[in-house]
Structure 1
Amino acid sequence: MNRKQMKWLFVLVGALVLLAACQAETELPPATLLIPTSIVPANVDTGGGQSTLPAPVTLTPVPTTIAETQPTATAVSATTTPIPPSSTPAAATTYRIAFVEDNDVLNVRSGAGVANGIVGELAPGVAGVSITGNGDLVSGSTWVPVTNGKVTGWVNGRFLTEVIPSAQFCADQAVLDLLAQLKTAVEQKDNVLLAQLIHPERGLRIRVNWWNPEVLLNGDARATLFTGSTSYDWGVHDGSGEPFVGSFSSEILPMLQEDLLRATEMRCNDILAGPTAGFVQLPEGYDALNYYSLYRPAADESGFD
């Protein structure tokens, strides 16, 4: 039995520079997108082991972006009694563990880098993590000092994402502006613009399917994605199980042109999908992120055949 092909695309805002406007700047160096990205480097310490927009397409955002109201300036006379400052302090910025699979943990070490001993661990999705100082760059990764309950030490900042309320994220026009820039980059095959949207360290994370392996494109790989010939292992083809190998331009770009540029619906923090016999879900480790889901209906979604 063959099911009609269901076209969908996630745009996860949380790990790339796409997210820099809304996710943590923390002490991390300057950088998704989850589009159905090279494999996470072996020297990245994830936990238990040692281990990514043509002129904007008219979409139907759900929910509708909330417009900001500009306050009216009011002159205050010299005799006006000053208003005391609010007694409610601004909430401290906290972070959550992201991109760590359910069967793994994020190691907390005594210092920056995997050469230091493990002094604790943080489970996938744990929130309430505080960064307590400046980060150190070690082997291409920024490590930051953190605390969470009784656990104190250093972690790879690549696996932290700022905790931002869903309503705040979904109402932020800056996120939609970044998506528009992504569409422009794809439509024009603009290597320079796309590279500017991707954090050089945190990179562009790509999955062809939620169950296929993740490819992380960062560093110099960002500069020639539309024109480069570097081949990546994207996993296997759905249905046939045949190896899915090729360059970004030959394998991923056509998907973006078909599904991102032609998307007719968009929703924040909710997955849009058509008829399918398979599971529709986020990959493990992505529950910590805010994201946008873009959807292009198949030509005929009347059922299965």
Structure 2
Amino acid sequence: IIVRKPAGISGTAVSELAYDQRGIILTGSSTRLGSSTWVEIYAPTGGTGWVNFWYLTEDVPPARFCEDLRVNALLETFVSGLINHDGETLTRVVNPKRGLILRHDWWNPEVLYSTSSVSSIYSDLSEIDWGVLGGSDFHILGSFREIILPQLEDVFLISPEVKCNEMIAGVTTQVAVWPREFDNMNFYVFHRPSPEGGNKYDWRTWAIGIEYVENQPYISVLIQYRGDI
């Protein structure tokens, strides 16, 4: 992330932050430029500079995150909304700053639902390009309800295996990893294993990335992992 002065993409680059930089301290000053919010930080090389707030997240140590009972309640609310196809419930648990980022597969492009569009996610039948099937040029096209919802229900409507900040995956042709760009984001994993004695590639995992906004946890990212790719 480029640190600029003054704020804005036309500002002079005065420093740079690593993608996994921690311990960034804000000065308390911020400014709105178009649709973006820029915040002033103490630059690691000294002095101050400005960065786009979109690229920052509150720094919560992994151990503290995994012990936070509010996160458990957040995830229970998410599952309740999923079971009832309730967009308003989903809106309450989604990051009010970032909205909801979805990936059909961890290596496919992101689909972003703004905070204002999350409430209609179950009823909106607009066709979306979710990326391509692994090893092919075949595009995955369809609405959230048609493409993503059945794959979420395949995991969350059973009793999946659950881990905090640890990936669970079955046999796969591609390594299942939490994306590097989200290294500083804590996450929970929900895994439906392959059936005993069945197709070893028939498993599915959903990872839920969670961020804190003003010390309150919210869901920011949903990423799917599968063995049939």
TM-score class, shorter: 0.7 to 0.9
SS in 2 for 1:228: coil
Choose which of 75, 87, 99 in structure 2 pairs with 1:179: 75
Tell whether the 8 Å contact from 1:143 to 1:156 is kept in structure 2 after alignment.
Answer: yes
Query: What is the CA–CA distance in structure 2 between the aligned matches of 1:142 and 1:303, rounded to whole Å?
Result: 48
1:70-149 to structure 2, matched below 5 A, reads 106-149=1-44
Choose between structure 1 and 2 for higher RCO, CA contacts under 8 A separated by at least 6 residues: 1
| CA gap 1:231/1:138 in 2 versus in 1, 3 angstroms | farther
Listed as ranges, the matches of 1:272-291 within 5 Å are 272-291=168-187
RMSD: 2.1
- Conservation of the 8 A alpha-carbon contact between 2:15 and 2:43: no
The structure carrying a bigger helix percent of its residues is: 2
Cα pair distance change 1:302/1:144, threshold 3 Å: same
Matched position secondary structure for 1:271: coil
Residue 249 of structure 1: aligned partner: 145
**Correspondence 1:1-305 to 2 at 5 A:** 106-150=1-45, 152-300=48-196
> C-alpha displacement at 1:238, in angstroms?
2.7
Q: Which amino acid aligns with 1:205?
A: I
User: How far apart are residue 241 of structure 1 and its match?
Assistant: 3.7
Moved over 3 A (4+): 300-305
Q: Distance in 1 between matches of 2:155 and 2:51?
A: 36
Measured after TM superposition, the shift of residue 173 of structure 1 is 0.5
The total of aligned residue pairs comes to 200
Offset of 1:184 from its aligned partner? 0.7
Structure 2 gaps of 5+ residues are: 202-229
TM-score, normalised by the number of residues in structure 1: 0.60
TM-aligned CA deviation for residue 124 of structure 1: 0.9
Distance 2:200 2:95 in 1: 41
CA shift for structure 1 position 186 = 0.7
Aligned equivalents of 1:301 and 1:166: distance in 2?
Answer: 36
- 1:117 to partner: Cα distance: 3.3
CA drift at 1:189: 0.7
Q: Secondary structure of the residue that 1:178 maps to in structure 2?
A: helix
- For residues 197 and 171 of structure 2, the distance between their equivalents in structure 1, rounded to whole angstroms, comes to 6
Deviations along 1:235-261, one digit per CA (max 9) or x if unpaired, are 102354410122222211111111233
SS at match of 2:57: strand
Residue 222 (structure 1) shift: 1.6
Could you say if the C-alpha distance between residues 212 and 263 of structure 1 is closer, same or farther in structure 2, counting changes exceeding 3 Å? farther
Cα distance in 2 between the residues matched to 1:235 and 1:264: 26
- What letter matches 1:113 in structure 2? G
SS at match of 2:180: coil
The one-letter amino acid of 2:19's match is P
The CA deviation string for residues 53-97 of structure 1, in whole angstroms up to 9 with x for no partner, is xxxxxxxxxxxxxxxxxxxxxxxxxxxxxxxxxxxxxxxxxxxxx
Segments of structure 1 that go 5 or more residues without pairing to the other structure are: 1-105
Give the 3 Å change call, closer, same or farther, for CA 254–294 of structure 1 in structure 2. same
Counterparts of 1:303 and 1:227, CA distance in 2: 33
Note the C-alpha offset of 1:202. 0.8
Conservation of the 8 A alpha-carbon contact between 1:271 and 1:293 = yes
1:211: Cα distance to partner? 0.9
SS at match of 1:155: strand
**Residue identity (%):** 35
Q: Match of 2:94, as an amino acid? A: I
Task: Determine if contact 1:133/1:144 at 8 Å carries over to the other structure.
Answer: yes
CA distance, structure 1, for counterparts of residue 120 and residue 197 of structure 2 = 36
Q: 1:182 to 1:278 in 2, by over 3 A?
A: same
